[in-house]
């Protein structure tokens, strides 16, 4: 049953940022694909470039007039201060790429998929959902969609472990109050490492 208080919260989410912002968020899935097809250094160079571009725009956003077409990239509260969530998004993708030199690269790439596709899809679908988790503004529909889509796309990287990672990542997304760009990929990464160790 829908909680009226949760409806009030959802209605005040600035949905205008979702389409363009989530296209960028979901688009990060190309990073592990590039890492596999072209090499890790190309993927690292690409995400580093976009991270530097983001930081450059952050420095300028209060000093110059940002084109109207780019306004949807920021949430309303991010205009006044540093946009920490996008920064953490780029930082975690870069970190996972670097970790792929020391840990199972498939697990690292699958964790990026859970962050980009899983988290992105869960938000896009979730804002239209009707059934909420207890004491949460996250919807069951969003979490289910994110879990399924992320698992399917991550499957080529790690096989059945993709279902473990996507389930763990989306569980973290549901329970996280803040910084889900950190908790989601970390939960996916750790859960798949543990599952791999247990299975052998």
State the pLDDT at residue 84: 87
Cα separation, 170 vs 141, in Å, equals 12
Domain containing 170: what range?
14-199
Shortest CA distance to 94 belongs to which of 106, 84, 81, 108? 108
Q: Is residue 61 part of a domain?
A: yes
Tell me how crowded residue 123 is: count the other CB atoms within 10 A of its CB: 22
Tens digits of per-residue pLDDT, 100-125?
999 999 999 999 999 999 988 888 88
Q: Is residue 114 part of a domain?
A: yes
Q: Is residue 9 part of a domain?
A: no
Cα separation, 55 vs 94, in Å, equals 14
Shortest CA distance to 179 belongs to which of 74, 85, 111? 85
What is the rounded average pLDDT of the residues 48-56? Answer: 91
Q: Is residue 121 part of a domain?
A: yes
Q: Is residue 29 part of a domain?
A: yes
Q: Is residue 20 part of a domain?
A: yes
Q: Is residue 5 part of a domain?
A: no
Q: Is residue 69 part of a domain?
A: yes
| Backbone φ and ψ of 139, nearest 5° | -100, 155
Residue 165 has pLDDT above 70, yes or no: yes
Enumerate residues 6+ apart whose C-beta is below 8 A from 2. Answer: 130, 131, 132
Per-residue burial over 72-91, b if 16 or more Cβ lie within 10 Å, else e, is bbbbeebeeeebebbebbbe
Please give the model's pTM, rounded to 2 decimal places.
0.85
Confidence category of residue 13, pLDDT binned at 50, 70, 90: very low
How many domains are contained in the chain?
1
Confidence category of residue 5, pLDDT binned at 50, 70, 90: very low
Cα separation, 47 vs 31, in Å, equals 7
């Amino acid at each position: 049953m829908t909680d009226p208080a949760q409806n009030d919260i959802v209605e005040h989410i600035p949905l205008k940022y979702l389409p363009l912002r989530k296209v960028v968020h979901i688009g990060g899935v190309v990073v592990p694909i590039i890492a596999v097809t072209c090499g890790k250094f190309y993927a690292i160079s690409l995400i580093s470039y976009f991270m530097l571009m983001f930081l450059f725009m952050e420095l300028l956003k209060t000093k110059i007039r940002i084109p109207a077409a780019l306004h949807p990239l920021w949430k309303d509260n991010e205009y006044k201060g540093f946009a920490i969530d996008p920064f953490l998004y780029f930082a975690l993708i870069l970190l996972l790429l670097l970790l792929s030199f020391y840990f199972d690269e498939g697990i690292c790439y699958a964790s990026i998929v859970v962050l980009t596709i899983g988290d992105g899809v869960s938000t896009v679908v979730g804002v239209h959902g009707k059934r909420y988790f207890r004491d949460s503004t996250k919807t069951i529909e969003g979490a289910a969609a994110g879990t399924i889509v992320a698992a399917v796309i991550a499957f080529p990287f790690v096989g059945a472990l993709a279902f473990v990672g996507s389930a763990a990542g989306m569980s973290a997304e549901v329970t996280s109050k803040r910084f889900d760009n950190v908790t989601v990929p970390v939960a996916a990464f750790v859960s798949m490492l543990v599952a791999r160790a247990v299975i052998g």
